[in-house]
Amino acid sequence: MAACFLLLLVLSACGNDEDTKPKPDPESPVKTDEQLIAESWNIGTITLGGQELTSTSYSIKFNGDSTFVFNTPAVPGLAQNGKWVYLKSSKIIRLNDDTDLVVDKITETDFSFTYTYKNHKMGTVEVKFKLKK
């Protein structure tokens, strides 16, 4: 009987491994497209009519208060500041109620969109923006 008691004592002292294992971090809440758009992004590439624009001074910033500030002087007709709104159903960022940017991809690490404008010599011109974290 003493041996059984001793065996029970030893087994109960071992405890349950589940109690000592570290608990995984709770999953981060999934960010909305609007939250992702308003994060800090670095310009990867900008292509205008198939030609890559190269400048270290270009910048694009969508702010959480629905304002934006761009420095993209080589892109004709693209507003450089104002208000933005995301139209989720059509995946469009609308700038100043009159310019649409079509969102091609938005993830935690990649953000790309296309701006299209008319040019009297070239016709419809696409400008593709690829941003990275």
- Collapsed DSSP state (helix, strand, coil) of residue 118: strand
Residue type, 93: I
- In the block, tokens 């004709």 appear at 76
Structure tokens at 52: 């890559």
Q: What is the pTM of this model?
A: 0.77
* Digit-coded pLDDT (tens) for 35-52: 999 999 999 999 999 999
Give domain limits for the chain. 33-132
* Digit-coded pLDDT (tens) for 49-90: 999 998 888 999 999 999 999 999 999 999 999 999 999 999
End-to-end CA distance of the chain: 67
The residue with greater pLDDT, 18 or 124, is 124
Top CATH class of 33-132 equals mainly beta
Whole-angstrom distance, CA of residue 4 vs CA of residue 21: 29
Beta strands in 6-120 (DSSP E): 42-48, 51-53, 59-62, 67-71, 81-87, 92-95, 99-106, 110-119
User: What strand order describes the sheet that includes 123-132?
Assistant: 51-53, 42-48, 123-132, 110-119, 99-106, 92-95, 81-87, 67-71, 59-62
Are 93 and 72 in contact by the 8 Å Cβ rule? The answer is no
pLDDT of residue 70: 97
